[in-house]
Chains A and B, each alone.
Chain A
Amino acid sequence: MRVKMRVNLGGLGMKNPVTTASGTFASGREYSDFVKLSALGALTTKGVSLHAWEGNATPRIAETPSGMLNSIGLQNPGVKKFLENDIPWLRKQNVPIIVNVSGHTLNEYLILLKILEEEKSIDAYELNISCPNVDAGGMTFGSDVKSVEEIVTRARALATKPLIVKLTPNVGDIAEIARAAESSGADALSLINTVLGMAIDARTKKPLLARVVGGLSGPAVKPIALRMVYETYQAVSIPLLGMGGIMNGEDAVEFMLAGATAVAVGTANFVNPRATIEVIEGIQNYCEIYGVKDVNELIGGLQC
C-alpha cells in the first residue's frame, strides 16, 4: 500500500509530516553524513537573531531522567552570517526551510523579519516567543496574551510566508495563548518549546547548569506536550506542529492523533542521528499496518 504522506502546514507544503526541532539540528550540515536532508518534510533551523548572541556559560546541558536540560541561550552568529553561510548551502539540499526567528525586543524581531523577507529560498518562519533561556525576550513574549497579540500582529504584517508561532508550555492556559496567536494572524502553531526545570548535584550542593535553570526536553516532556497539543487542537482551527520527546514513529502518530498536522524531532537526534528518517519510516509503517491511506486521516483522530 502506498501511504499518502504529504501534509500542508498553514501554507507550507511538506512531502511528509516530519521536520527538525529548532536548535537540535543546526542548519542540517552537521547531520548530513547521517541523513539525506531532502527526505525530510522540512528543516527547521536553529534560532536566528538580528545580532550575534553569545549564549550562556557552560555547563549548558545536564542529563535528567528520560530527558535533558539545556540552557544554550540561543547562541547564534546573527542573521548576516546565517544568510551568508547557511542559506546558500541549505538552498541546495532540496528541503523546505523553516527559519526559527528570535529576538530580545519586538523591534529586533521585526527588523530581522524584514531582512529574512529578502531571502527567497526561505519557505516559512517559526516565530520563537518561547525560549526559556534568555533574560530578555524569548518566553516572556509568549506567556502573555497581550504581548502575543502585539508581536504576532506586527510579524504578520511583514511576513509574506507562512508564519508558525512557537508556544511555550510554561503558561497556565495554553488555549488562551493559542487563540491569541490565531486571531492575530498566525498560519500555524508549534508546540511545545522546553519546560522550565532544574537539576542539582546533592554531593556538591551545586546546580548542574551554570545558569541554574534550563529547558527540559526529551521523552520526559512527552505527556505534557501531548496534553498541550490536544488542548490547543480543541481551541484553534489552524494546523499544529507538535513536538516534545518524539523518539520514533509511534510517538509521532500519537501527536497527530492529538491534533498535530506535522511533527518535529528534537532531542532524539542526539540519541540517534538518523532519528528523523526513522520517524518518517515509522509513521509510514504504522499507516500500512493500520490501513491508513492518507496520513492526514490521523490528525485529531483520537477516540475518547
Chain B
Amino acid sequence: METRFDEQGIVRANKPVGAGLYLMELEAEKTAHSIAPGQFVHLRLPRMEAHILRRPFSIYSATPENATIEILYQCVGFGTAHLSELLVGEVLDVMGPLGNTWHTPDSAERALLVGGGVGAAPLFMLAEELLGKGIAFDVVLGAQRKDALVCRTRFEALFMGGSVHAFSLAHANSTLFCATDDGSFGHGGFCTELSKDLLSKQAYDYMAVCGPEPMMRIAVQQALECDTPCEVSLEKRMACGVGACLSCVVDTSEGKKRSCVDGPVFDARKVVFA
C-alpha cells in the first residue's frame, strides 16, 4: 500500500453549484499526485469547535499539473455547512490517499456507471480512467431536479473529447443518460429505471454504482439479475479513516470489512445490505 499522509490543503475555490451542492478546489500537492479513482480524503476543517471528528470526502477530480483536487459536496449538517463557508486561502488538513479503488478489469469491453445525486462525484475519475484505457462505457446520472445534475456538464465534456484527454469516445458509441425525479431534465423518474433499461438492451461486463443506499440496492439487484460484475462505493460514518477504530464496518459475505481500508468500493455480490 502507498504511504498515507496528512498534508495542508489550501482552498483555491469554493462555490455553490446549485441545489445545496458546492464545488471546492484545493491545492493539495501530494494528494493530487497520489489519489486514484474511488479513493477518498479525510478532512479536518479549521474552527470546527465542538465538532471534533474529520469528515470523509471522495475526490471529484485531480489535476497533478496544478497540484489541485476538487471535491463536490452536499450540505447536510454542521461540517458540510461549515465547509461551504471556508474562504479562498484558508488552510485545512487533508489525510490521504485513503481507501481502495474501483477495480474495472482491463479486459472489460463495456462498463456502466450509475451515479445518484452527489454519488456521481467518485465516478468521474473512474470515467476518465476508462477513457484513458480505451474501455467503452455509458453513464447514468440521477438527481431530484435539473439544477442538481451538477456532474452532467463534466461528463458531457468528457464524452465530447473536450477534457484534458485527447482521446475521443465518439467511436465507442458511449452515451450519457440523465434522470430527474421531477422530470425537469432527461428521463422523468429514477436513474435505476434507465439502468434497468440499458442492462436489458446491452451487454455490460462491469458496473460501478454510487449514490443513496436505496438506489444502490436497486442497481445492485439489477446487476445481480443479469450477472454483471458490479462494484458499489459505500458511505459509512468514520472516525479514524485508516482502519484502526472499526467504526465503519460493512457486513459482507466474508464477514465485517472496514470501509475505510477494505472499501469504500466493494464487490456488490458480497455486500449484505441491511
Contact = CB atoms under 8 A, between A and B. Distances in A.
B246 interface: yes
* Contact-size category for B: 20 to 34
Interface in B221-274: 236-250, 256, 261
A68 B240 CA distance: 12
B44 to A, nearest CB: 7
* Contact-size category for A: 20 to 34
A72 B240 contact: no
A271 interface: yes
A66 interface: yes
A128 to B, nearest CB: 15
B181 to A, nearest CB: 21
Interface of B: 3-6, 44, 50-54, 93, 95, 236-250, 256, 261
Nearest to A25: B244
A54 B256 CA distance: 8
A24 interface: yes
24 contacts: A23-B246, A24-B244, A25-B244, A30-B261, A46-B244, A58-B236, A58-B250, A59-B237, A60-B246, A61-B238, A63-B52, A63-B53, A65-B50, A68-B52, A70-B239, A70-B247, A72-B247, A219-B52, A267-B239, A271-B44, A271-B54, A272-B93, A273-B6, A274-B6
A33 B3 contact: yes
B240 A24 contact: yes
Chain B contact surface mostly: loop
B245 A270 contact: yes
Contacts of B6: 34, 272-274
Contacts of A274: 6
Contact of B249 (A55, A218, A267): A55
B249 A60 contact: yes
A68 B53 contact: yes
Contacts of B246: 23, 46, 55, 60, 72, 75
Contacts of B95: 273
Interface string A257-301: 000000000010111111000000000000000000000000000
B256 A75 contact: yes
Interface in A32-72: 33-34, 46, 54-55, 58-63, 65-68, 70, 72
A269 B241 CA distance: 10
Interface of A: 23-26, 30-31, 33-34, 46, 54-55, 58-63, 65-68, 70, 72, 75, 218-219, 267, 269-274
Contacts of B250: 58
Contacts of A271: 44, 52-54
A31 B244 contact: yes
A267 B3 CA distance: 22
A66 B52 contact: yes
A68 B44 contact: no
B53 A270 contact: yes
Contacts of A31: 242, 244
A273 B241 CA distance: 10
Contacts of B238: 61
Contacts of B44: 271-272
A34 B244 contact: no
A23 B54 contact: no
A273 B3 CA distance: 13
A58 B52 contact: no
A118 to B, nearest CB: 26
The residue among A46, A66, A218, A273 with the most chain B CB atoms within 10 A of its own CB is A273
A270 B249 contact: no
Nearest to A76: B246
Given A63-B51, A68-B53, A30 B247 contact: no
A270 B245 CA distance: 8
B243 to A, nearest CB: 4
A26 B6 CA distance: 19
Contacts of A30: 240, 242-244, 261
A52 to B, nearest CB: 9
Given A66-B50, A269-B240, 19 more contacts: A24-B240, A30-B242, A30-B243, A31-B242, A31-B244, A46-B244, A55-B249, A55-B256, A58-B248, A61-B237, A61-B238, A62-B237, A66-B52, A67-B52, A70-B245, A75-B246, A75-B249, A219-B52, A270-B54
